[in-house]
Structure 1
């Protein structure tokens, strides 16, 4: 027990003093106030006020300028004395409470990354904290139900998104299977469906309502002031629903917890935030607690859907630069031989004399598709940290703009962290082992989920790595998942690879017959080679998958 708690426990109120409203107050091990019985009775019958308490305990005398009784009837600390603004006052009761009256249990929005292993890990390691999942479609709900079979029975399964009868039925069945399912209404029509289907299935639903806040923010909360505004509005709505008789239990503040992608700590940036995780959580809890206390509403369980903050750091996209292209000459004033000589001389002088910021700029080819692996850059201009993962003990001698494998003018990265139009890079020929690898960081949220198959480039290969607790710096590759091959990508667009190969075979047979090839050897070899192409990886390979010796006789190879 603290000294303050012991003091409060020792304080006694005894009726014997002859006068009020200014009774004698004795400081010591036991504080005693001695009002007379009649006066106490009179005060019990009248409306007591914080100002009377201030007079009773002589706060008006010993408190200024640092202590006062506030309108809530609590002692306030004014840290700046007379200069303290009302918003700067500290309610001493909040300190005495030492916490929040409920707990936190978040949910991971599956839309951020539907990868099985990621979600299974979130459920596994989040189980002691009742961490759950949020789904926005029927496939996501099925996925979430399956993963939560091994999660905490208290974990929330939040069902968002627009819903038809099948979606709601699946959510109700999940409730029947003892998942802690909450159906969140997006529109009024869903209420009628839930009532109808819950009666039909004899399942009592748990429901929530989405609040369209007037506090606006784009993508994520850039500052704690915006966080406080949004949470304040949500808390007031929650308290109003309680006042109207709703049996409320949880406030889900949604997403919005931002990631500092460029390290600028800027509140007005689309790729940065000006607060820490601790400042964010303190703002949320303090705001909810303050409003609920003022409205005499029990503190709700706090939930959030901070998907980006949960998984952004888990993925590093590693890609190889396969080549860099010589700058195109456009004017026609020099021959190609002259251009090569001038470029070579310029490069040699620049490497010897230039600072990294003024190095010559070349185009480096990435062995990936921006539309597949970095869709948010193409779609929204979102920036990610990109840098070499090795050779960092060497001074960069070039600056590069990165271009992908697609035949699209948008398939290039023209802007980088810090507003730069190029990256300081190393010369490819300087790497003795022939490989030069770059990494894209903080791309664990949305990039894998939103990737397209533009030019029929599919997802890259994925390696799952875990650290070894008993081996500092050691790691284990627990799985390696190959990306889709050419046939898989063709099937995704409703083509039939087997039918394609068979059509190629028939065409080869027809052409072989015309060319006089009667033994069918060339036809079989050609058809077999085409079948291997269908099962090959769409990205650049170090060796060919063709693997067929040259055939002479009819010009096929």
Structure 2
């Protein structure tokens, strides 16, 4: 909010004037950071935007300091700014590929003899949902009642399983039927009407998880640490209408390694419009405005190193040229950062292989393949490669 900046500048300007009057050899005033970045494009005083432009910021900084100095006959200072985020955010674009996709299973097994009561209740609930008209004729109250029933029957099935009255197979059928109830309700919900909150959340629960070849803690730590919104979108297949909703999970073993807050007209949303994956075709996503600022703060959380970087320069004719490529950390370099010696690891493996060969537990060709595999792995990046 520009008003917050103005208040701070007024106070700093008055301190500058008073110090000058006291005889301090002034001349420079550092206005610090605080220059925001309009991440979501809304031009509002929200955490992901700014209600001012760069020119507006510069005008207000200069005018506010001058208004403090001139009435007291104090020469205006040379202004210094250290607006790190605003300068560095546009520095680069992080491009990562999607490795796979998982979602809620569709379909369920046919009924069997002597099914448990909770499973039969779920089958009947699903039949009741399918009988409710969809679209504008839909009665959301009936869908709400059916969903409440489905959740209760699922809880009953889980309790029965814990107590040993339900088999693992029956438990899995109960869960599949519950998801089928959710899918049937989501398909029947009308558009643009007042929908109960629980039913609104069904689409989010049914959304897919897209597995991203990155580490959030390395390349976008602010998304986890301060819930910073970054613009994310596919950077190809832009001539195709996205048909799915999803969020991203990274390669790390940490449940916080996810991207599940996206820009939505000045607000945030938990899901992003994405395309379904195609076999043997890459799917690339761009994370924008992260820049050098995120790279500097990134760490070796879960031992994922820096990514490969390509320096690109715009040509006068409108094209571009690749200046140079900076290779990311290899597995060996990350091990060295953790005080391990890759060469010593290889030597130990070689010695152990020779001992195994002498005992007849390992063939020479197998030992060579093992050594080659480890040496190749140590030279590779910490991220998955095709």
- Which TM-score applies when normalising by structure 1? 0.52
Q: Which residue of 2 aligns with 1:531?
A: 375
Q: Which residue of 2 aligns with 1:436?
A: 283
Q: Verify the 8 A CA contact 1:327 1:363 in the aligned structure 2.
A: no
Q: Verify the 8 A CA contact 2:214 2:383 in the aligned structure 1.
A: yes
Cα distance, 1:295–1:433 mapped onto 2, change above 3 Å: farther
Q: Verify the 8 A CA contact 1:365 1:405 in the aligned structure 2.
A: yes
Q: Verify the 8 A CA contact 2:105 2:176 in the aligned structure 1.
A: no
Residue 366 (structure 1) aligned to one of 212, 218, 229: 212
Cα distance, 1:528–1:445 mapped onto 2, change above 3 Å: closer
Structure number with higher helix proportion: 2
Residue 407 (structure 1) aligned to one of 247, 250, 253: 253
Q: Which residue of 2 aligns with 1:423?
A: 272
Q: Quote how far apart the aligned CAs of 1:511 are.
A: 2.1
Residue 309 (structure 2) aligned to one of 442, 458, 462: 462
Give the greater-gyration-radius structure (CA): 1
The answer for unaligned runs of 5 or more in structure 1 is: 1-221, 543-557
Q: Verify the 8 A CA contact 2:103 2:207 in the aligned structure 1.
A: no
Q: Which residue of 1 aligns with 2:57?
A: 280
Q: Which residue of 2 aligns with 1:103?
A: none
Taking the aligned partners of 2:191 and 2:310, their CA distance within structure 1 comes to: 39
Q: Does 1:236 align with 2:14?
A: yes
Query: Alignment length, in residue pairs?
Result: 310
Taking the aligned partners of 1:407 and 1:337, their CA distance within structure 2 comes to: 25
Q: Deviations over 1:30-88 (max 9, x none)?
A: xxxxxxxxxxxxxxxxxxxxxxxxxxxxxxxxxxxxxxxxxxxxxxxxxxxxxxxxxxx
Instruction: Classify the secondary structure of the residue corresponding to 1:428.
Output: coil
Q: Quote how far apart the aligned CAs of 1:500 are.
A: 0.7
Q: Quote how far apart the aligned CAs of 1:270 are.
A: 1.9
Taking the aligned partners of 1:468 and 1:400, their CA distance within structure 2 comes to: 37
Q: Quote how far apart the aligned CAs of 1:244 are.
A: 1.3
Q: Does 1:254 align with 2:254?
A: no
Q: Quote how far apart the aligned CAs of 1:257 are.
A: 0.5
Taking the aligned partners of 2:21 and 2:62, their CA distance within structure 1 comes to: 21
Instruction: Classify the secondary structure of the residue corresponding to 2:33.
Output: coil
Q: Quote how far apart the aligned CAs of 1:438 are.
A: 0.8
Residue 509 (structure 1) aligned to one of 338, 348, 354: 354
Q: Which residue of 1 aligns with 2:146?
A: none
Q: Verify the 8 A CA contact 2:312 2:320 in the aligned structure 1.
A: yes
Residue 494 (structure 1) aligned to one of 325, 334, 339: 339
Q: Quote how far apart the aligned CAs of 1:374 are.
A: 0.8
Taking the aligned partners of 1:338 and 1:307, their CA distance within structure 2 comes to: 50
Q: Quote how far apart the aligned CAs of 1:337 are.
A: 12
Q: Quote how far apart the aligned CAs of 1:496 are.
A: 0.5
Q: Verify the 8 A CA contact 2:88 2:293 in the aligned structure 1.
A: no
Cα distance, 1:507–1:292 mapped onto 2, change above 3 Å: same
Taking the aligned partners of 2:95 and 2:292, their CA distance within structure 1 comes to: 16
Q: Which residue of 1 aligns with 2:294?
A: 447
Q: Verify the 8 A CA contact 1:307 1:445 in the aligned structure 2.
A: no
Q: Quote how far apart the aligned CAs of 1:226 are.
A: 1.5
Cα distance, 1:412–1:516 mapped onto 2, change above 3 Å: closer
Instruction: Classify the secondary structure of the residue corresponding to 2:100.
Output: strand
1:206-225 to 2 correspondence within 5 Å? Answer: 222-223=1-2, 225=3
Instruction: Classify the secondary structure of the residue corresponding to 2:312.
Output: strand
Q: Which residue of 2 aligns with 1:108?
A: none
Taking the aligned partners of 1:522 and 1:509, their CA distance within structure 2 comes to: 11
Instruction: Classify the secondary structure of the residue corresponding to 1:294.
Output: helix
Taking the aligned partners of 2:383 and 2:191, their CA distance within structure 1 comes to: 35
Cα distance, 1:488–1:479 mapped onto 2, change above 3 Å: same
- Which TM-score applies when normalising by structure 2? 0.73
1:35-46 to 2 correspondence within 5 Å? Answer: none
Taking the aligned partners of 1:498 and 1:336, their CA distance within structure 2 comes to: 53
Taking the aligned partners of 1:362 and 1:522, their CA distance within structure 2 comes to: 41
Instruction: Classify the secondary structure of the residue corresponding to 2:291.
Output: coil
Instruction: Classify the secondary structure of the residue corresponding to 1:512.
Output: helix
Instruction: Classify the secondary structure of the residue corresponding to 1:241.
Output: helix
Taking the aligned partners of 1:466 and 1:354, their CA distance within structure 2 comes to: 47
1:250-399 to 2 correspondence within 5 Å? Answer: 250-267=28-45, 269-327=46-104, 333-335=171-173, 360-399=206-245
Q: Which residue of 2 aligns with 1:540?
A: 384
Taking the aligned partners of 1:295 and 1:458, their CA distance within structure 2 comes to: 54
The answer for unaligned runs of 5 or more in structure 2 is: 107-153, 159-169, 193-200
Instruction: Classify the secondary structure of the residue corresponding to 1:540.
Output: coil
Cα distance, 1:541–1:336 mapped onto 2, change above 3 Å: farther
Q: Which residue of 1 aligns with 2:329?
A: 484
Q: Verify the 8 A CA contact 1:406 1:455 in the aligned structure 2.
A: yes
